[in-house]
Structure 1
């Protein structure tokens, strides 16, 4: 299952646009603890920070539409906003025509307005009838480029050119002239401008605006609808600077058209911004221009924020930029996952680069490509590089806990700096931003800045000052109140030096809802048979708190609780860890669990069958890998009730290329039972995919040990090995054979062996992270989050198999058998070389001498291999090259054949 997960995630990375494989979303890389959308002017919601799409989306934020508000006022506020919006945008044209003809109202909203509705609002209803008639056609005619690469499919091919141009213009002119209400007249003017624009009569559209719209001198909602079309016509005429300026006016004055106007501005360079800034004739226009400059990703927003502040300290745009800046910082301080491996995430540096409270820091702002994220992810799984680690203990002082550099949150240095030019590094401006917010909060009437300042102090671990600010805020704003409550809770929990039993009780009593699991929605993918997947939900405050506690428990040495905050007990199956298993078993058996421990943490001790059998199987496997067979047998005796590792439904047949479902799984290896007696044999050729009776061969003398069964469980296997070990203590050929079989068992269950899955709690020998040579150090540094993706299996001790082979060699008088044993010893020695090689540092790809250093590295590797790890190959070549065994091996092992011919 583990290998499936790895390959599935890798494959999904290249199909992240499809729903079923949408495994990555940049906005899901942080917890969003500072809620951006507490800004009060919801028309700026699209311009909050997002990496997932061009504009921020919030289903709960209702952006007011001033056009609907304008109609609501026209109808004397007899209808509420929602009813007015339905009347204007959704009510059928036929229903309005029926009212005009004096028929009874067929729509509840029209009936609510009464029989005299049409007579009272005749001009408005007539306009809506005309507008609804035109609306299906109101799109510009699409002109396909002859060089266009993509085929553009239209579900509705209607556009403005489908209408008779002259008749439509004449009708709108007539309606414009006959209208008495200036607002309705303005709306007909808008239709004239729009129709000309969408039929590509750009000059006529511009003239219509000047003739029908501007003279009315009414700058209500329809005016900005018309101005938006006028600017589009100017763009069509090539008057780009004028178009940008008029789109800018729409952006500044309209609530509902802001996003579309921004897109239409096409501000692709600094010159476009400067042109707008030069034309800004008043403070409001200057403020809006500075906002656009601060909004752009290639600008540091703080200088623009200061300019806006100098003009209008209460500007809502200032809050938008402030929220974006804080959101950017939060992503660096509170990602959903702190990369454990110091090769990709260096947080141990104790120099001046180490983040300090209120100290200015430099960082790199970056958006990683899909491929970079894949590389980073796999490096975090398989890298072996280690670094100095801080003490993990349950009896340190409060000061030691609080000053631990691995204590979350901390500034998360971005990985892979060599992908970016040093001159393009933006600044992690937390200190400057905090200084700025601290200044504003004392002057502004809006509590937003106090909340922002408190949050910046929270990020820098200044919990006391953060709490003091929050306690000083009095507000009736519900969004602000919700943010303040959350931040008070965060300060309370994150500032706790050590998680004690008393504090756990406090957590359960006061914050229980943040830790109790909510049922996850399971959706079915109709394209895959019987395949369900969990709904992809954004990280929550609950998950952040679990990370915090997992980190605190980890630093305190409470590994079991740290593990269970982020994982289920069954996850231990993917990467069995002896010491962690011991701690988890002790927690499982703990009688006096606190309420928090029993109700929250212990819930993740999920069903693994018989739990004691589960743990004892892990201990037995570790004992077997360490050749402690007597101890292994004791544990296996307690593991006989082990229910087995969940088996896959089938396997991939490499010969046919098909996925084959198992008809019967009762005879498959399940983690405890159905171990083949060939586990004591030797491989004929190295093919993990072939059946064992093809890849493996029993030793010719296996019948000398009748207690070795063709199928065994682990208890029977341990018993057989102990009997072999007893025989091996004597002298003579039988002793040699017994020791050879034990050596075979240890080699065959190593990372190089055909049965490498047997003592690492896997179901088959297919490739995956746990069969990687570089796992010399545990990858866990901050917590056990994503446990199944952070592979660490204690490396094999190949010297153990070599020790048993040495005894076999010493007791054998058969030259052919000695040659076979030496070859097995050489194979184990090859494993030692692979382990050494995996620990050597790589040459960085950004090294200007990468090719030269890489070539020298290969030369050094070959030299080390031949000088230190070819002992038994050399003996075979020098003393046994005339044996039939060696001649046979040269035909089946190409590398050995190459070595002999050198």
Structure 2
């Protein structure tokens, strides 16, 4: 097979059979492996929970590292049935078998019940074991406990511990002797065989393990989990002695028949495939029937991260009802979502304002290959659904419709969905049917209006209920078990929001982004308490803070306060309504600051608690004098930071200067100069950037979209420069005028960009050196430097500026 092989690296048979997996994530940006691509498909639709560990996932070897069925529970059930105590609580059996040590069992065997500690005397299962009729069972459990220290050791490549082969062999002999004493009790014989094989395996006696299995386990074969645990030991021993096909075949039987030991079986088949150059065709002759052949191929195919359609077709020929076939279909859908759907949607969003990341490259030839594969998978889905041999033909029919949706063939997708409507569906498949119908309906609509919103409202409401139910039950930060929350997320992010943005309706787009967030309502309230909105609602908060102007925010707040909302509006404002008023008032005030509407900013900021700006980040990043005029910019504290300003007091001060400039012409120059200082310091270069932005990085000018409403002034200081020039024009003080020219020069220099040098350019170092020289030349030829030297070279400020500003000094020295 042309497989992208398993990424399992395991050091020994011991590691394989204990299920230990060691993996690492390199330093750098981290991607949630369960949310690495756009999806509108419930990946839990088939095989849940039995095959959940083997769902497709890009960055891990398994989707879930826990067996879906607890081996303890199944063994406990077998013991209860064996002793005829089915009504006994599982907890009592668990404590008796798994928490007691060998000394406890010696007490039970050799002491009267009155001499037992309370932990034994009060355990009803222990009391049952102590009865004379169960003496053989008690003897076995005592033997099993004696074996445990030799087979439950922790493996370490750094400090490997050599097994105590002599002691283990002595226990094997004891076990064989005990088996000889038991005549017809297959239940205990099987378990003794398990302990004997386990001791042989971990002592390094692989040949012995195989022989003991054939002698003591095969005659007592049953559907017990213990039989398959022992079969896995034999399979591991066969791998050690080089019988790879035989090993793979037995592991495939364990995988198929033992639902609490599948992960180990799967990992071992992967190990055989990668390290022992085993090919499944070598093991096919060992299979007893076509179903076993299908199972054998399915185990290996579950580890295929590439195109698995050829293997799926072969499995279908062997056994159309193969247990894994539906799971393999869902895996292929998930792969195409990552390799085809996600890049296609990213291409359609040229600005990529959501910073969506796909796991695959989006070159046209690559997408063409993936598109052709989607066609091939679609044809197979159509064949399988029409022949109706599989367990659920409707799953295959609807998956075919989804593949057409991926390719944006809405007409075909809709027609196939219509055909599927009369087919029998499980609840999960029916849910996927409804999701796909909603997707097609929205994508067919060119313009969204109030009538259409009410049309899709019932479906969105249904999806939202499923989203909330999943998020309310989520116990960690990973998105592994929230398929409908993810479907809702990407419906909002990649379909509805872009449609509203295309209609220039940023208010509804914002609501879409808010509804897309993967957080419950209690989580949003907690985020407010912890000042963590930006972490918990990253896409929506980023859009609110960077794409919305003050008028948009006002409309959004008015919509939320609307008394007679439509059903659609009620639904879409659900998340927004949970945001605290403090957040919105601060956001609105900041939007007004960006637009220099200081009176309105004051009104918004006054609605905040009096101590609102005393906390971080304001406490740390608004600690400077926002009206200082520094020759050299810095974000570090200076001796001139004798007064600090909050967003409120800054807006009040700017408004006061603005009013005074109009009312007192004599002091207008001073007022405009102070306002220019305020405008400059609230810019990217200034000491009070937090007044209008929420984060700062040296790479911001490289990555932030330049056409966002406020960024022109934030990065390039046009308004500050304008006000410095207004101040200079109104003044007759030469030293003051010199200050105005110098500060205007700083504004002008903020628009000088470092020449771009491509990372992959030939002679990068040489080209970068030339770029640095060019950048330096642009900085020292600032047009205001000439004005300073020509008109103000005799002023005290000029002398100070030349001594402190290296660029001005170099300009002067050259001339």
Q: Which category of TM-score, normalised to the shorter sequence, fits these structures?
A: 0.7 to 0.9
Match of 2:13 in 1: none
Is 1:183 paired with 2:194? no
Alignment of 1:319-398 (within 5 A): 319-331=326-338, 345-347=346-348
- TM-score, with normalisation over the residues of structure 1? 0.67
Q: 1:604 aligns with which of 576, 601, 620?
A: 576
Q: 2:805 aligns with which of 881, 885, 893?
A: 893
Is 1:443 paired with 2:387? yes
Q: Deviations over 1:578-605 (max 9, x none)?
A: 4533542553565653233246416615
- Rounded Cα–Cα distance in structure 2 between residues aligned with 1:423 and 1:612: 42
Alignment of 1:205-604 (within 5 A): 205-213=209-217, 222-236=226-240, 243-244=247-248, 246-265=250-269, 267=271, 269=273, 272=276, 274-281=278-285, 282=287, 283-297=290-304, 299-331=306-338, 345-347=346-348, 414=359, 429-445=373-389, 446-447=391-392, 448-461=395-408, 462=410, 463-475=413-425, 477-484=426-433, 487=436, 498-506=447-455, 512=461, 514-515=463-464, 538=482, 539-547=485-493, 548-567=495-514, 574-575=545-546, 577-585=549-557, 587-588=559-560, 592-598=564-570, 600-601=572-573, 604=576
- TM-score, with normalisation over the residues of structure 2? 0.73
Q: Deviations over 1:676-725 (max 9, x none)?
A: 9x65552154322215724999xxxxxxxxxx9xx956345324224325
- Change over 3 Å in CA distance of 1:301–1:852 after alignment to 2: farther
C-alpha contact 2:682 2:690 (8 A) present in aligned 1: yes
The SS at the match of 1:28 is coil
Following TM superposition, by how much is the alpha carbon of 1:23 offset from its aligned partner in structure 2, in angstroms?
7.3
Following TM superposition, by how much is the alpha carbon of 1:56 offset from its aligned partner in structure 2, in angstroms?
2.7
Q: Deviations over 1:282-322 (max 9, x none)?
A: 43454344324433345421121122222222222222211
Question: What is the aligned residue count?
Answer: 738
- Change over 3 Å in CA distance of 1:894–1:315 after alignment to 2: same
Q: Which runs of 5+ in 2 are unaligned?
A: 1-22, 115-120, 515-536
- Rounded Cα–Cα distance in structure 1 between residues aligned with 2:314 and 2:414: 31
- Change over 3 Å in CA distance of 1:100–1:326 after alignment to 2: farther
RMSD (Å), alpha carbons: 5.4
- Rounded Cα–Cα distance in structure 1 between residues aligned with 2:237 and 2:749: 74
Q: Deviations over 1:375-428 (max 9, x none)?
A: xxxx97899xxxxxxxxxxxxxxxxxxxxxxxxxxx98657779xx99999777
The SS at the match of 2:164 is helix
The SS at the match of 2:387 is coil
The SS at the match of 1:688 is coil
Q: Deviations over 1:41-92 (max 9, x none)?
A: 8543322223464323398954789974994797398738995994795486
Is 1:196 paired with 2:200? yes
- Change over 3 Å in CA distance of 1:45–1:637 after alignment to 2: closer
Match of 2:654 in 1: 717
- Rounded Cα–Cα distance in structure 2 between residues aligned with 1:424 and 1:67: 49
Match of 1:396 in 2: none
Bigger mean CA offset, 877-886 vs 195-204: 877-886
The SS at the match of 1:256 is coil
Match of 2:20 in 1: none
Match of 2:738 in 1: 819
Q: Which runs of 5+ in 1 are unaligned?
A: 1-15, 350-378, 384-410, 526-532, 625-631, 653-659, 663-667, 670-674, 698-707, 781-790
Is 1:136 paired with 2:140? no
Following TM superposition, by how much is the alpha carbon of 1:563 offset from its aligned partner in structure 2, in angstroms?
0.7
More helix by share: 2
Greater relative contact order: 1 or 2 (C-alpha under 8 angstroms, separation 6 or more)? 1
C-alpha contact 1:72 1:80 (8 A) present in aligned 2: no
- Rounded Cα–Cα distance in structure 1 between residues aligned with 2:106 and 2:442: 60
- Rounded Cα–Cα distance in structure 2 between residues aligned with 1:382 and 1:858: 33
Following TM superposition, by how much is the alpha carbon of 1:193 offset from its aligned partner in structure 2, in angstroms?
2.0
C-alpha contact 1:160 1:195 (8 A) present in aligned 2: no
- Rounded Cα–Cα distance in structure 1 between residues aligned with 2:213 and 2:678: 88
- Rounded Cα–Cα distance in structure 2 between residues aligned with 1:170 and 1:747: 87
